[in-house]
Structure 1
Amino acid sequence: MAESKTRASEGPDAETADSSGETTQVLEFGLGSETYCLDIGVIDEIVDAGDLTRIPNSPAHVEGVMDLRGRTTSIINPKTVFDIDEAGEQNRIIVFDPDSIGDQGTIGWVVDEVYQVSDVGVNDVDETTTANDDNVHGIVKAEDRFIVWVDPNIAASTE
Protein backbone atom coordinates (compact mmCIF):
# COMPACT_ATOMS: atom_id res chain seq x y z
CA MET A 1 0.00 0.00 0.00
CA ALA A 2 2.82 2.39 0.79
CA GLU A 3 4.22 1.80 -2.71
CA SER A 4 0.93 2.79 -4.33
CA LYS A 5 0.81 5.97 -2.26
CA THR A 6 4.32 6.87 -3.36
CA ARG A 7 3.63 6.13 -7.02
CA ALA A 8 0.39 8.12 -6.92
CA SER A 9 2.09 11.20 -5.51
CA GLU A 10 4.98 11.01 -8.00
CA GLY A 11 3.11 10.07 -11.15
CA PRO A 12 0.81 11.93 -13.52
CA ASP A 13 -2.06 11.74 -11.02
CA ALA A 14 -0.13 13.76 -8.42
CA GLU A 15 -2.81 16.44 -8.52
CA THR A 16 -5.20 14.00 -6.78
CA ALA A 17 -3.03 14.01 -3.66
CA ASP A 18 -3.97 16.32 -0.83
CA SER A 19 -1.52 18.80 0.70
CA SER A 20 0.19 16.00 2.68
CA GLY A 21 0.64 13.92 -0.50
CA GLU A 22 -1.28 10.96 0.96
CA THR A 23 -3.73 9.16 -1.29
CA THR A 24 -5.57 5.87 -1.04
CA GLN A 25 -6.35 3.71 -4.02
CA VAL A 26 -9.97 2.61 -4.18
CA LEU A 27 -11.86 0.24 -6.45
CA GLU A 28 -14.98 1.83 -7.93
CA PHE A 29 -17.94 -0.46 -8.61
CA GLY A 30 -21.60 -0.13 -9.53
CA LEU A 31 -24.71 -1.21 -7.67
CA GLY A 32 -27.78 -0.20 -9.62
CA SER A 33 -27.30 3.38 -10.82
CA GLU A 34 -24.94 4.37 -7.98
CA THR A 35 -21.16 4.13 -7.69
CA TYR A 36 -19.46 2.83 -4.56
CA CYS A 37 -15.83 2.20 -3.69
CA LEU A 38 -13.64 0.13 -1.39
CA ASP A 39 -10.02 0.52 -0.33
CA ILE A 40 -8.08 -1.85 -2.59
CA GLY A 41 -6.05 -2.96 0.41
CA VAL A 42 -8.97 -5.16 1.55
CA ILE A 43 -9.51 -6.79 -1.85
CA ASP A 44 -7.95 -10.14 -2.74
CA GLU A 45 -9.29 -10.56 -6.28
CA ILE A 46 -12.12 -9.84 -8.70
CA VAL A 47 -13.77 -12.78 -10.48
CA ASP A 48 -16.65 -13.36 -12.84
CA ALA A 49 -19.88 -14.32 -11.13
CA GLY A 50 -20.55 -18.02 -11.34
CA ASP A 51 -23.03 -20.55 -10.07
CA LEU A 52 -23.84 -20.21 -6.40
CA THR A 53 -25.05 -22.83 -3.98
CA ARG A 54 -27.91 -21.48 -1.91
CA ILE A 55 -27.75 -21.92 1.86
CA PRO A 56 -31.11 -22.73 3.50
CA ASN A 57 -32.21 -20.34 6.26
CA SER A 58 -29.36 -17.91 5.59
CA PRO A 59 -29.81 -14.15 6.10
CA ALA A 60 -31.37 -12.24 3.21
CA HIS A 61 -28.06 -10.60 2.24
CA VAL A 62 -26.30 -13.97 1.75
CA GLU A 63 -26.73 -15.06 -1.87
CA GLY A 64 -24.97 -18.39 -1.33
CA VAL A 65 -21.49 -19.89 -1.48
CA MET A 66 -19.10 -20.78 -4.27
CA ASP A 67 -15.80 -22.61 -4.56
CA LEU A 68 -12.94 -20.28 -5.45
CA ARG A 69 -9.69 -22.20 -5.84
CA GLY A 70 -10.56 -24.66 -3.10
CA ARG A 71 -11.94 -22.07 -0.68
CA THR A 72 -15.61 -21.96 0.21
CA THR A 73 -16.51 -18.31 -0.29
CA SER A 74 -19.70 -16.74 1.09
CA ILE A 75 -21.24 -14.40 -1.46
CA ILE A 76 -23.00 -11.33 -0.08
CA ASN A 77 -25.40 -9.10 -2.01
CA PRO A 78 -24.57 -5.54 -0.92
CA LYS A 79 -27.77 -4.31 -2.61
CA THR A 80 -29.70 -6.03 0.16
CA VAL A 81 -27.41 -4.53 2.80
CA PHE A 82 -27.68 -1.01 1.32
CA ASP A 83 -31.42 -1.39 0.56
CA ILE A 84 -31.03 -0.89 -3.21
CA ASP A 85 -34.05 -2.07 -5.21
CA GLU A 86 -32.62 -1.56 -8.70
CA ALA A 87 -31.90 -4.65 -10.79
CA GLY A 88 -28.53 -5.06 -12.43
CA GLU A 89 -26.25 -7.50 -14.16
CA GLN A 90 -24.48 -8.79 -11.03
CA ASN A 91 -21.69 -10.08 -13.23
CA ARG A 92 -18.61 -9.59 -11.00
CA ILE A 93 -17.60 -10.71 -7.52
CA ILE A 94 -15.20 -8.70 -5.37
CA VAL A 95 -13.43 -11.18 -3.07
CA PHE A 96 -12.01 -9.75 0.14
CA ASP A 97 -8.66 -10.59 1.69
CA PRO A 98 -9.62 -12.84 4.63
CA ASP A 99 -6.97 -11.17 6.84
CA SER A 100 -8.57 -7.75 6.37
CA ILE A 101 -12.12 -8.59 7.40
CA GLY A 102 -11.66 -10.32 10.74
CA ASP A 103 -13.03 -13.76 11.56
CA GLN A 104 -15.65 -13.87 8.81
CA GLY A 105 -13.87 -16.39 6.57
CA THR A 106 -13.68 -15.79 2.82
CA ILE A 107 -16.33 -13.36 1.63
CA GLY A 108 -17.19 -11.83 -1.73
CA TRP A 109 -19.65 -9.19 -2.84
CA VAL A 110 -21.62 -9.68 -6.03
CA VAL A 111 -21.72 -6.34 -7.89
CA ASP A 112 -23.17 -5.15 -11.16
CA GLU A 113 -19.93 -3.83 -12.62
CA VAL A 114 -16.35 -3.02 -11.65
CA TYR A 115 -15.22 0.30 -13.11
CA GLN A 116 -11.69 1.34 -12.18
CA VAL A 117 -9.08 1.89 -9.52
CA SER A 118 -8.62 5.55 -8.64
CA ASP A 119 -6.60 7.61 -6.20
CA VAL A 120 -8.47 9.45 -3.46
CA GLY A 121 -6.85 12.19 -1.39
CA VAL A 122 -7.93 12.93 2.16
CA ASN A 123 -9.39 16.28 1.05
CA ASP A 124 -11.57 14.50 -1.55
CA VAL A 125 -13.60 12.71 1.15
CA ASP A 126 -16.55 14.33 2.96
CA GLU A 127 -16.96 12.48 6.25
CA THR A 128 -19.54 14.83 7.79
CA THR A 129 -22.50 13.24 5.99
CA THR A 130 -21.67 9.82 7.48
CA ALA A 131 -21.25 10.79 11.14
CA ASN A 132 -23.87 8.25 12.28
CA ASP A 133 -22.80 5.37 10.03
CA ASP A 134 -19.67 3.41 10.96
CA ASN A 135 -19.93 1.40 7.72
CA VAL A 136 -19.45 4.36 5.39
CA HIS A 137 -16.06 6.09 5.35
CA GLY A 138 -17.38 9.09 3.48
CA ILE A 139 -18.53 10.51 0.18
CA VAL A 140 -15.84 10.96 -2.47
CA LYS A 141 -16.35 13.88 -4.82
CA ALA A 142 -15.09 12.82 -8.23
CA GLU A 143 -15.03 15.07 -11.30
CA ASP A 144 -18.65 14.52 -12.32
CA ARG A 145 -20.17 12.30 -9.63
CA PHE A 146 -20.27 11.29 -6.00
CA ILE A 147 -18.93 7.92 -4.85
CA VAL A 148 -19.91 6.28 -1.56
CA TRP A 149 -16.85 4.83 0.18
CA VAL A 150 -18.02 1.79 2.14
CA ASP A 151 -16.51 -0.61 4.65
CA PRO A 152 -16.38 -4.32 3.68
CA ASN A 153 -17.46 -5.31 7.21
CA ILE A 154 -20.94 -3.83 6.73
CA ALA A 155 -22.44 -7.24 5.99
CA ALA A 156 -21.13 -8.61 9.29
CA SER A 157 -23.02 -5.92 11.19
CA THR A 158 -26.29 -6.69 9.35
CA GLU A 159 -28.42 -9.25 11.08
Structure 2
Amino acid sequence: MASYDNVVVVQFEISGVQYALDIQIAREIVEMIPITPVPMAPKHIAGIINLRGEITNILNLNYLMGLPVHTDSENKKIIVLVPEAANGSNVGLIVDDVMSVLQVSEDDIDKMDESISKEAYVKGVIKSGKDSSGNKALIIWIDITKILFDILKETHDA
Protein backbone atom coordinates (compact mmCIF):
# COMPACT_ATOMS: atom_id res chain seq x y z
CA MET A 1 0.00 0.00 0.00
CA ALA A 2 1.43 3.37 -1.03
CA SER A 3 2.27 5.98 1.57
CA TYR A 4 1.34 9.55 0.71
CA ASP A 5 2.67 11.59 3.68
CA ASN A 6 1.88 15.05 2.32
CA VAL A 7 0.37 15.13 -1.14
CA VAL A 8 0.05 18.33 -3.16
CA VAL A 9 -2.81 18.42 -5.67
CA VAL A 10 -4.61 20.84 -7.94
CA GLN A 11 -8.28 20.96 -6.95
CA PHE A 12 -10.75 21.62 -9.77
CA GLU A 13 -14.44 21.28 -10.53
CA ILE A 14 -16.34 19.45 -13.25
CA SER A 15 -20.15 19.31 -13.32
CA GLY A 16 -20.37 20.54 -9.73
CA VAL A 17 -18.06 17.81 -8.35
CA GLN A 18 -14.62 18.48 -6.87
CA TYR A 19 -11.67 16.58 -8.32
CA ALA A 20 -7.90 16.72 -7.87
CA LEU A 21 -4.82 15.70 -9.80
CA ASP A 22 -1.16 15.53 -8.81
CA ILE A 23 0.56 18.93 -8.92
CA GLN A 24 3.69 17.33 -10.43
CA ILE A 25 1.90 16.68 -13.72
CA ALA A 26 0.35 20.16 -13.99
CA ARG A 27 2.63 22.52 -15.91
CA GLU A 28 0.32 25.55 -15.74
CA ILE A 29 -3.27 26.72 -15.60
CA VAL A 30 -4.48 29.07 -18.32
CA GLU A 31 -7.70 30.95 -18.93
CA MET A 32 -9.96 29.48 -21.58
CA ILE A 33 -8.94 30.64 -25.06
CA PRO A 34 -10.47 29.85 -28.46
CA ILE A 35 -9.89 26.22 -29.43
CA THR A 36 -9.47 25.17 -33.06
CA PRO A 37 -11.53 22.03 -33.70
CA VAL A 38 -9.85 19.06 -35.34
CA PRO A 39 -11.97 17.43 -38.08
CA MET A 40 -13.11 13.87 -37.40
CA ALA A 41 -11.52 13.85 -33.94
CA PRO A 42 -13.03 11.71 -31.18
CA LYS A 43 -15.45 13.53 -28.83
CA HIS A 44 -12.88 13.73 -26.02
CA ILE A 45 -10.60 15.89 -28.20
CA ALA A 46 -11.90 19.47 -28.05
CA GLY A 47 -9.24 20.63 -30.51
CA ILE A 48 -5.88 22.39 -30.46
CA ILE A 49 -4.50 25.72 -29.29
CA ASN A 50 -1.31 27.63 -29.95
CA LEU A 51 0.12 28.20 -26.48
CA ARG A 52 3.12 30.49 -26.80
CA GLY A 53 4.21 28.85 -30.05
CA GLU A 54 3.51 25.25 -28.97
CA ILE A 55 0.60 23.33 -30.47
CA THR A 56 -1.27 21.85 -27.52
CA ASN A 57 -3.98 19.17 -27.78
CA ILE A 58 -7.00 20.09 -25.68
CA LEU A 59 -9.00 17.26 -24.16
CA ASN A 60 -12.49 17.55 -22.77
CA LEU A 61 -12.22 15.90 -19.37
CA ASN A 62 -16.02 15.60 -19.13
CA TYR A 63 -16.06 13.13 -22.04
CA LEU A 64 -13.03 11.24 -20.74
CA MET A 65 -14.71 10.71 -17.38
CA GLY A 66 -18.24 10.14 -18.71
CA LEU A 67 -19.66 13.30 -17.15
CA PRO A 68 -22.22 15.77 -18.53
CA VAL A 69 -20.76 18.62 -20.59
CA HIS A 70 -21.67 22.17 -19.58
CA THR A 71 -21.41 24.91 -22.17
CA ASP A 72 -21.20 27.67 -19.54
CA SER A 73 -17.65 28.86 -20.08
CA GLU A 74 -17.55 31.71 -17.57
CA ASN A 75 -14.89 30.18 -15.30
CA LYS A 76 -13.54 27.40 -17.53
CA LYS A 77 -9.81 26.87 -17.41
CA ILE A 78 -7.27 24.69 -19.15
CA ILE A 79 -4.88 22.68 -17.01
CA VAL A 80 -1.80 22.18 -19.18
CA LEU A 81 0.08 19.02 -18.27
CA VAL A 82 3.79 18.32 -18.40
CA PRO A 83 4.60 16.43 -21.63
CA GLU A 84 5.74 13.34 -19.66
CA ALA A 85 2.15 12.86 -18.44
CA ALA A 86 0.93 12.24 -22.00
CA ASN A 87 3.72 10.24 -23.59
CA GLY A 88 5.62 13.37 -24.67
CA SER A 89 2.62 15.23 -26.14
CA ASN A 90 1.50 18.73 -25.18
CA VAL A 91 -1.92 18.21 -23.59
CA GLY A 92 -4.36 20.48 -21.80
CA LEU A 93 -7.54 19.51 -19.97
CA ILE A 94 -10.69 21.64 -19.96
CA VAL A 95 -12.21 21.95 -16.48
CA ASP A 96 -15.16 24.02 -15.27
CA ASP A 97 -13.03 25.87 -12.71
CA VAL A 98 -9.79 25.53 -10.76
CA MET A 99 -10.34 25.94 -7.03
CA SER A 100 -6.90 25.80 -5.39
CA VAL A 101 -3.68 23.96 -4.79
CA LEU A 102 -4.01 21.79 -1.69
CA GLN A 103 -1.46 20.14 0.55
CA VAL A 104 -3.17 17.08 1.98
CA SER A 105 -1.98 14.82 4.78
CA GLU A 106 -2.21 11.05 4.49
CA ASP A 107 -4.85 11.06 7.27
CA ASP A 108 -7.21 13.00 4.98
CA ILE A 109 -6.99 10.48 2.10
CA ASP A 110 -9.16 7.38 1.88
CA LYS A 111 -7.77 4.78 -0.49
CA MET A 112 -10.23 3.28 -2.95
CA ASP A 113 -10.73 -0.46 -3.07
CA GLU A 114 -8.26 -1.72 -5.70
CA SER A 115 -10.96 -3.36 -7.83
CA ILE A 116 -12.88 -0.06 -8.01
CA SER A 117 -9.91 2.25 -8.48
CA LYS A 118 -8.61 0.31 -11.52
CA GLU A 119 -11.91 0.80 -13.34
CA ALA A 120 -12.69 4.32 -12.11
CA TYR A 121 -9.20 5.88 -12.44
CA VAL A 122 -9.44 7.04 -8.83
CA LYS A 123 -6.34 7.17 -6.60
CA GLY A 124 -8.37 8.03 -3.53
CA VAL A 125 -10.85 10.37 -1.91
CA ILE A 126 -9.56 13.47 -0.15
CA LYS A 127 -11.48 14.82 2.82
CA SER A 128 -10.88 18.56 3.03
CA GLY A 129 -12.56 21.62 4.53
CA LYS A 130 -16.29 21.57 5.23
CA ASP A 131 -19.24 21.14 2.93
CA SER A 132 -22.62 22.88 3.38
CA SER A 133 -23.80 20.30 5.95
CA GLY A 134 -20.68 20.66 8.13
CA ASN A 135 -19.08 17.38 7.03
CA LYS A 136 -15.66 17.22 5.43
CA ALA A 137 -15.94 17.95 1.71
CA LEU A 138 -14.98 15.07 -0.56
CA ILE A 139 -12.57 15.55 -3.46
CA ILE A 140 -12.04 12.71 -5.92
CA TRP A 141 -8.31 12.32 -6.60
CA ILE A 142 -8.05 11.05 -10.18
CA ASP A 143 -5.20 9.23 -11.88
CA ILE A 144 -4.97 11.39 -15.00
CA THR A 145 -1.81 9.70 -16.27
CA LYS A 146 -3.62 6.34 -16.32
CA ILE A 147 -6.61 7.92 -18.11
CA LEU A 148 -4.31 9.41 -20.74
CA PHE A 149 -2.31 6.18 -21.09
CA ASP A 150 -5.50 4.18 -21.71
CA ILE A 151 -6.88 6.78 -24.16
CA LEU A 152 -3.61 6.91 -26.11
CA LYS A 153 -3.48 3.09 -26.12
CA GLU A 154 -7.07 2.86 -27.43
CA THR A 155 -6.35 5.46 -30.11
CA HIS A 156 -3.15 3.67 -31.14
CA ASP A 157 -4.82 0.24 -31.21
CA ALA A 158 -7.78 1.47 -33.27
TM-score after normalising by structure 1: 0.79
Q: Which amino acid in 2 is paired with 1:97?
A: V
Which residue of 1 is the match for residue 19 of structure 2?
Answer: 36
Match of 1:157 among 130, 137, 150: 150
- SS of 1:146's partner is strand
Unpaired segments ≥5 residues, structure 1:
1-19
Could you give the per-residue CA deviations for residues 36-80 of structure 1, whole angstroms, max 9, x where no partner exists? 001111110000111111111211111000011111100011111
Which residue of 1 is the match for residue 59 of structure 2?
Answer: 76
- Counting matched residue pairs gives 139
Residue 129 of structure 1, CA deviation: 4.2
Please tell me whether the aligned partners of residues 98 and 107 of structure 1 are also in contact (alpha carbons under 8 angstroms).
yes
Residue 128 of structure 1, CA deviation: 2.7
Q: Which amino acid in 2 is paired with 1:33?
A: G
Could you give the per-residue CA deviations for residues 87-126 of structure 1, whole angstroms, max 9, x where no partner exists? 2436210000112x14250100011111111111222211
Partners in 2 of 1:21 and 1:40 — Cα distance? 13
Match of 1:55 among 33, 38, 41: 38
Please tell me whether the aligned partners of residues 63 and 76 of structure 1 are also in contact (alpha carbons under 8 angstroms).
yes
Which residue of 1 is the match for residue 83 of structure 2?
Answer: 98
Q: Which amino acid in 1 is paired with 2:98?
A: V
Q: Which amino acid in 2 is paired with 1:95?
A: V
Q: Which amino acid in 1 is paired with 2:108?
A: D
Residue 83 of structure 1, CA deviation: 1.3
Partners in 2 of 1:148 and 1:133 — Cα distance? 11
Unpaired segments ≥5 residues, structure 2:
131-136
- SS of 1:123's partner is helix
Partners in 1 of 2:114 and 2:55 — Cα distance? 33
Most deviating of 139-148 and 125-134: 125-134
Moved over 6 A (4+): none
Which residue of 1 is the match for residue 133 of structure 2?
Answer: none
Which residue of 2 is the match for residue 17 of structure 1?
Answer: none
- Alignment partner of 1:137 is 2:123: yes
Most deviating of 130-139 and 43-52: 130-139
Please tell me whether the aligned partners of residues 63 and 69 of structure 2 are also in contact (alpha carbons under 8 angstroms).
no
CA RMSD of aligned residues (A): 2.0
Please tell me whether the aligned partners of residues 112 and 123 of structure 2 are also in contact (alpha carbons under 8 angstroms).
no
Identity %: 29
